[in-house]
Structures are given as structure tokens and as C-alpha cells.
């Protein structure tokens, strides 16, 4: 369940309480008159079944509560309340299938902001991927996959497309448009330094056998990207963050960027081009799959609990 906390002006108090009372998935409704100091107003709290949270928030927004006061949501891991359990049973659908749009937008926005931390993680991931290429080490390449933070912006782009909120797309697109060139540029400088001191050579890169999958782009690459993108978005929607690790290991984004840079610096333009194509295929595949999941997923909220097995 979710714990909903509402700060509302006194003139909206009855309307807000009316909205909460009319929802079948609401329990443990509390009112604290005059408790809010800034903005001035009342504090109202309730426990809400995740399945009906979207409709509840939409109705509260229609009252302009988010502008005149505030609406905050908190996930409750453990609730010991007969009323709360009854409210959750009365709500249609299953909590695991509930897509809460405001929560998803907030999560993807937080993970897709262009920042020094984001660029640093992406740069470190590209550098590690480049080392994995030079040493022909699958383990090192997998480490770069896990470290890369690019899934957050890609998920945010998918959310923006489905919501038709192009203002939401600017932030993640900026993060990707700046992050990848900076990370690849620093990796290029590192590759040049490695070539100058004899650590990196064209002969070494052409002999790789364990990590050659990075530049072997084809239909399978798109299929993997689509499946990984779907799994990643599903994990965000369901708040199953542990599943994201598997998604990171599945897609060849950061390794392809690192390999493209190293190959280009050493003059192997064929491999560089194939690696760049692999990067584009994976990025587009993840976004397309994320959009598909978000378009299909909300229908699960409409399945009555009585119809589930």
C-alpha cells in the first residue's frame, strides 16, 4: 500500500476528504486541522491501495491541490490493519500490476538528470569497457555494463513519448547527448595515451575473441535490446530494482561506445562503425520496448481481483 499525505487549504478540506472517502481503496483516514504552516492549511493522511492511486491522484489534481498545497506518496512495506487489508481487497487489480504514473515520472526524472555524477559514471563505464576490449576480458566488459547509468534516461524518454510530454524528454535527451560524447571523448584520449606507450595496438584489438560480440550487430542484437528494455521498464513500474542488474548485463550500450572509440583511434573503421551501429540499435531497442510496456501495462489495472487466478 501507499501512505498519502495531503496538505490542503482549509477551503478545499471537504472536497479532499470527499475524494478520499469515495475511493474503495482508502483506509485509515486522518485529519490534522491547521497543522500545515507553509503553505497554511490542513494535513490529511490516508493509506491507499496502489491499484487505485492513479485515479485518486488525478481527482486531487483536478482540485488543484498540488499547486495550492502538496501531495506526497510513501511506499508502505508492512501494514498491520484490517481496514487497510480490506481496502486493498476491495480495490480492483493487483498491487504488482498497478502503474503509478507520478511515481514513475519522478523516478525516471531523478535518474536522467545531466550531472557530474552521471557523466562520471558513464565515463568510468566506457573506460572499463575499453580496457575489457584491449584485454579481451568478458568479465571486465560485464562490469562496464553494470556501471553504465544510461538506462535511466532511456526509460525517461519512453515515459515522455507515452505521456506525450515532450518537456519530460528534454532532460534525458540532454543527458544522453552530452554524456556519451564526453565519455567517449575521454576514452579516446585514454586510448591515444595507451597507443603512445605501447599498451594498445591495432593488432591486439583485431585478435579479440571473447568480446567480439560487442561489434557483431544483427537481428539478435535488436531482439535482446527489446527484451532487456521491456524487462527494465517492467522492473521500474513494479519497483523491482534488483531485476535492473540483469537488464544492464543484457544490453551492449556502453561496451559498444567504448569499443567504437578504441577501434576508431587505432584506425579500424569497420569495427568502429559496427560498434556504433550496435550502440544505436541497443539505444533505440530499449526505448521502443519501454514504450510498448507502458502502452500495454495499464490495462492490467483493470482486471478485477475476482477474475484473477
Domain containing 33 — which CATH number? 3.30.70.120
In a domain, 97, yes or no: no
In a domain, 306, yes or no: no
| Boundary (domain end) residue, out of 37, 71, 91 | 91
Reading the block at residue 24, the C-alpha cell is: 474503495
Same domain, 130 and 246: yes
Same domain, 145 and 271: yes
Same domain, 148 and 290: yes
Q: What is the pLDDT along the chain (309 residues), one digit of tens a residue?
A: 899 999 999 999 999 999 999 888 899 999 999 999 989 999 999 999 888 888 889 899 999 999 999 999 988 888 888 888 888 887 776 666 677 888 888 878 877 889 999 999 999 999 999 998 888 888 899 888 888 889 889 999 999 999 888 888 999 999 999 999 999 999 999 999 988 888 887 877 778 888 888 888 888 888 988 988 888 888 887 755 555 555 666 678 899 999 999 999 988 898 899 999 999 999 999 999 999 988 887 544 433 333 333
In a domain, 96, yes or no: no
Name the CA dihedral angle for 142, 144, 148, 150, rounded to a multiple of 10 degrees: -70
Total domains in the fold of the chain: 2
CA atoms within 13 A on the CB side of 240: 15
CA atoms within 13 A on the CB side of 8: 23
Residues 6+ apart with CB under 8 A from 275: 214, 215, 256, 257, 259, 260, 263
In a domain, 303, yes or no: no
Same domain, 147 and 48: no
Q: What pTM did the predictor assign?
A: 0.78
Same domain, 71 and 139: no
Q: What confidence score (pLDDT) does residue 239 get? A: 56
Same domain, 41 and 129: no
Rounded to whole angstroms, how far apart are CA atoms 5 and 210?
A: 53
Print the domain residue range for 61: 2-91
Same domain, 167 and 272: yes
Same domain, 155 and 289: yes
Same domain, 84 and 138: no
Same domain, 120 and 259: yes
| 240-275 CB burial, b ≥16 within 10 A, e <16 | eeeebeebbebbbbbbbbbbbbbbbbbebeebbebb
In a domain, 98, yes or no: no
Same domain, 56 and 144: no
In a domain, 112, yes or no: yes
Q: What is the DSSP letter of 12?
A: G
Same domain, 112 and 54: no
Q: What is the DSSP letter of 51?
A: G
Amino acid at each position: 500500500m501507499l501512505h498519502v499525505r495531503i496538505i490542503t487549504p482549509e477551503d478545499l478540506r471537504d472536497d479532499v476528504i470527499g475524494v478520499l472517502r469515495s475511493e474503495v481503496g482508502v483506509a485509515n483516514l486522518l485529519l490534522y486541522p491547521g497543522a500545515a504552516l507553509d503553505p497554511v492549511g490542513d494535513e490529511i493522511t490516508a493509506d491507499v491501495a496502489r491499484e487505485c492511486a492513479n485515479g485518486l491522484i488525478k481527482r486531487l489534481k483536478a482540485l488543484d491541490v498540488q499547486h495550492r498545497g502538496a501531495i506526497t506518496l510513501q511506499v508502505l512495506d508492512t501494514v498491520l490493519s484490517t481496514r487497510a487489508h480490506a481496502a486493498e481487497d476491495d480495490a480492483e487489480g493487483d498491487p504488482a500490476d498497478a502503474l503509478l504514473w507520478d511515481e514513475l515520472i519522478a523516478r525516471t526524472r531523478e535518474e536522467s538528470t545531466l550531472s557530474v555524477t552521471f557523466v562520471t559514471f558513464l565515463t568510468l563505464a566506457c573506460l572499463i569497457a575499453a580496457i575489457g576490449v584491449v584485454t579481451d576480458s568478458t568479465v571486465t566488459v560485464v562490469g562496464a555494463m553494470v556501471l553504465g547509468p544510461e538506462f535511466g534516461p532511456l526509460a525517461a524518454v519512453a515515459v515522455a513519448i507515452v505521456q506525450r510530454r515532450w518537456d519530460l524528454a528534454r532532460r534525458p535527451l540532454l543527458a544522453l547527448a552530452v554524456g556519451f560524447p564526453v565519455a567517449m571523448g575521454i576514452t579516446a584520449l585514454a586510448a591515444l595515451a595507451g597507443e603512445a606507450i605501447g599498451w594498445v595496438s591495432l593488432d591486439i584489438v583485431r585478435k579479440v575473441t571473447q568480446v567480439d560480440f560487442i561489434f557483431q550487430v544483427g537481428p539478435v542484437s535488436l531482439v535482446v535490446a527489446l527484451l532487456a528494455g521491456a524487462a527494465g521498464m517492467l522492473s521500474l513500474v513494479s519497483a523491482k530494482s534488483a531485476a535492473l542488474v540483469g537488464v544492464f548485463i543484457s544490453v551492449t550500450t556502453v561496451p559498444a561506445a567504448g569499443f567504437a572509440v578504441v577501434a576508431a583511434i587505432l584506425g579500424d573503421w569497420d569495427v568502429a562503425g559496427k560498434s556504433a551501429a550496435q550502440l544505436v540499435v541497443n539505444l533505440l531497442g530499449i526505448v521502443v520496448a519501454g514504450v510498448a510496456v507502458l502502452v500495454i501495462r495499464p490495462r492490467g489495472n483493470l482486471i478485477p481481483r475476482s477474475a484473477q487466478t
